[in-house]
Amino acid sequence: MKSVTIIGAGLAGSEAAWQLAERGVAVRLMEMRPHVTTPAHETAHFAELVCSNSLGSDLESTAGGLLKRELELLNSLIIQTAKKSRVPAGGALAVDRGLFSEAVTRAVMEHPNVELVREECTEIPDGVVIIASGPLTSSALTSALQDLTGSKNLYFFDAAAPIVLGESIRYDEGFWAARYDKGTADYFNCPLTKEEYKEFVQALIKAEEAPLHEGDLGEDDLTVFEGCMPIEVMAKRGEDALRYGPFRPVGLIGPDGRRPYAVLQLRLENTEASLLNLVGCQTRLKWGEQKRVFQMIPALRDAEFVRYGVMHRNTFINAPRVLNASFQVQDDNRLFVAGQITGVEGYVESAASGLLAGINAARFVHGQEPLVLPRETMLGSLAHYIASADPTHFQPMNANFGILPTLDPPVRGKQERKLAYSQRALQTLRSFLSDL
């Protein structure tokens, strides 16, 4: 029987192991816990949820709910187990964390095609391998990953600005332009008057920051970044600090022929302009505070945030430089990478990447072409984003409707549009699977 080695038994590794084993592939699953511990894990069980017990919304009208429906169609162990261990939580899929991880561990370990090796993996093994070691990868394996990917393509800090849905921006409150008309006007500029700017700065200074957790970035860590100071810290240095920093208006002339008092620039995250990044707005503010404060900017009054700004420790690779949409390493197709280390963000997204990596590793050992899901599906678009985003500005991404191809014809109404995205995705996936 052909075999595959999996490094890590978190959500991604457990899902990958199950998908491989179910396809008749022998799995050698390596998990360092409990012999080598991490700052976040408490047990030696697989798929341990280290923070919340919630796997996010289960509603089909949400991006997370759609991803769960797709994983159900793809026979995901993680979603099946979560449904059996769920606890009441309204529209969210919340689980009894202990029962959930115990059930995943039992299902994987009892599979006749899985061999568990309880030891730390310090180098990448020979043969077909799935690296699913997570954001808390051990130092020895981290060194091996640096050798594999190139040290410049492995990051240890996630210092990211918020991302908003393009269709939620008030384009009549701003203008497209590049500074000094250089380039092709790739930035959407959100101008502020003097009064609007002052109110924004005061709100930013007074906004509540998220509490620091063990392993998160401290003030001293920020010295390792160039230009990655939290925007709220910068604002406290003086009223005009932002106007001489990320909100500087120099080189920008509005439609009225005058230079604005201050400008927030939005950078395209994809060629469809469905996602835009708030340039220079790395922040530690609580998510609700981010929405409240940034929506004070006229062009963002209706903004829908698909990812909030974060500043914390997180090991991940520059996936567009390293991976294909099959989660295979571009320069060595016997190697696959899955989980948060790929740049997917969220519990379910990690499991989803493990599922696709597991399926494709099985196809690889059986001499089949890799499975690349249609972009109309949430998992297909997430894999596409990971593999093809701008590598110079790459940051982790969760499931959201902004990464999907736009609807043709367009659908009016926010809820109706989201349901239409979900219905198209599920219909496309069912058709795709029936044709395999």
- CATH dotted code for 3-158+313-435: 3.50.50.60
Comparison of pLDDT for 134 and 18, the residue scoring more: 18
For residue 33, the model assigns a pLDDT of: 67
pLDDT tier at 210, thresholds 50, 70, 90: confident
Q: Between 182 and 370, whose confidence is greater?
A: 370
CA 156 vs CA 7, 44, 137, 222, 347: distances in Å: 19, 24, 10, 12, 19
At residue 91, the pLDDT reads 87
Residue 261 has pLDDT above 60, yes or no: yes
Cα atoms in the Cβ-side hemisphere of radius 13 Å centred on 333: 12
Alpha-helical runs (H) found in 229-370: 231-235, 287-294, 319-322, 347-365
Q: How far apart are CA 401 and CA 389, in angstroms?
A: 16
Instruction: Name the residue with tokens 């509540």.
Output: 208
In this prediction, residue 66 carries a pLDDT of 97
Residue 436: DSSP 8-state:
-
CB-count burial class (<10 Å; 0-12, 13-18, 19+) for 256: exposed
Spatial separation of the C-alpha atoms in residues 168 and 273, rounded to whole Å: 11
Task: Say what the pLDDT of residue 41 is.
Answer: 52
Is residue 226 scored above 50 in pLDDT?
Answer: no
Q: Using a pLDDT cut of 70, give the percent of the chain over it.
A: 93
Structure tokens at 92: 């969210």
Query: What CATH number labels 163-308?
Result: 2.40.30
Per-residue pLDDT band at 395 (split at 50, 70, 90)? confident
Tell me the average pLDDT across 94-102.
91
Q: Are strands 187-192 and 175-176 parallel, antiparallel or unpaired?
A: antiparallel
In tens, the pLDDT along 26-46 reads 999 998 766 555 554 556 689
Query: What local confidence, expressed as pLDDT, does residue 34 receive?
Result: 60
Domain map of the chain by residue range? 3-158+313-435, 163-308
Q: What is the mean pLDDT of residues 74-84?
A: 97
| pLDDT value at residue 225 | 44
Residue 432 has pLDDT above 70, yes or no: yes
| Mean pLDDT taken over the chain | 90
Per-residue model confidence (pLDDT) at position 131: 96
* Structure confidence at residue 229 (pLDDT): 81
Nearest to 177 by CA among 250, 254, 248: 254
Backbone phi, then psi, for 95, in 5-degree steps? Answer: -130, 160
Find residue 336's DSSP bridge partners. 130, 328
CB atoms closer than 10 angstroms to residue 183: 10
Length of the chain: 436
The mean per-residue pLDDT over the stretch 54-72 comes to 94
What local confidence, expressed as pLDDT, does residue 212 receive?
63
Q: What was the pLDDT predicted at 45?
A: 87
Beta-strand ranges (E) seen in 221-273 are 262-268
313 phi and psi angles, rounded to 5 deg: -75, 135
| pLDDT for 176 | 94
pLDDT at residue 187 greater than cutoff 80? yes
Sign of the C-alpha dihedral computed for residues 70, 73, 79 and 85 taken in this order: positive
The contacts of residue 27 (CB under 8 Å, 6+ apart) are 3, 4, 5, 6, 17, 20, 21, 111, 113, 114, 115
Q: What is the mean pLDDT of residues 85-102?
A: 89
Confidence of residue 223 (pLDDT cuts 50, 70, 90): very low
pLDDT confidence of residue 367:
96
pLDDT of 269 over the 50 cut: yes
138-142, 145-149, 164-168, 345-349: the lowest-pLDDT one:
138-142
Rounded to 5 degrees, φ, ψ at 276 are -130, 140
Q: Which of 28-32, 85-89, 183-187, 242-246 has the highest mean pLDDT?
A: 242-246
Q: What is the mean pLDDT of residues 357-376?
A: 97
> Tell me, what's the pLDDT at 213?
57
Mean pLDDT of 175-186: 82
